[in-house]
Amino acid sequence: MDGKIYPVRFDFRTGLRIFQAWEDEDLTEEEKAGITLGNVYLTTPDNEQAAFEQAVKFLNCGKELHVDEGKRTPERLYSLVQDADLIYSAFHQTHGIDLEAAEMHWWKFWALLMDLGNETRFCQVIATRYAVSHGQATDWQKKDYLEHPEVYKLSQPDTSTPDEKEKKALFEKLLAEGRAKRHGK
């Protein structure tokens, strides 16, 4: 980048830390970008925009990330953060790998994640999420989905602009004040 070589952290835990930050609604986009750069690079490159683009390419396993403005965001069926326990178990069940003790490249981790066995609870949860969202769930899937929302419901990232977030916070504050006045508090 810019004629310089910048060493990177390639361990799968680096990618997991970055995804954890990107799922954190309390962080701003700038903070998430800073966490991305700070985790990928040992020293932050001079051209932070180019560095960020390369970091995203790294997280995408060396492939350019293409965003079609006209297409809607793909359906989210799993979360590396919310489903961490299921992923850990599935790695052990399918590949015999204890992720706590493992040392592996992010790209290898991703390839193995995409090759988890259908018999794992993680893949069953993904299949149920998909079936329910597309109206194709079996009676058992519907029942399990309703009985265990903590397993199936994924938190959705807040895509509001800072201005929208500020307006929402003000509305919620006014609403809470109105409730307090009604209840004599």
Q: Where are the domains of the chain?
A: 1-74, 84-152, 159-185
Minimal CA–CA distance to 109: which of 125, 131, 94? 94
Taking only the tens place, the pLDDT of each residue in 76-112 is 899 999 999 999 999 999 999 999 999 999 999 999 9
Percent of the chain with pLDDT over 90: 62
pLDDT at site 180:
72
Taking only the tens place, the pLDDT of each residue in 109-128 is 999 999 998 999 999 999 99
Rg of the chain taking only CA atoms, in angstroms:
20
Identify which has the larger pLDDT, 9 or 73.
Answer: 9
Residue reference for tokens 């509305």 = 171
Taking only the tens place, the pLDDT of each residue in 114-168 is 999 899 999 999 999 999 999 999 999 999 999 998 889 887 655 566 676 677 7
Report the phi/psi class of residue 66: left, alpha or beta, with left for phi > 0 and alpha for psi in -120 to 50: beta
CB 82 within 8 A of CB 157: no
pLDDT at site 78:
93
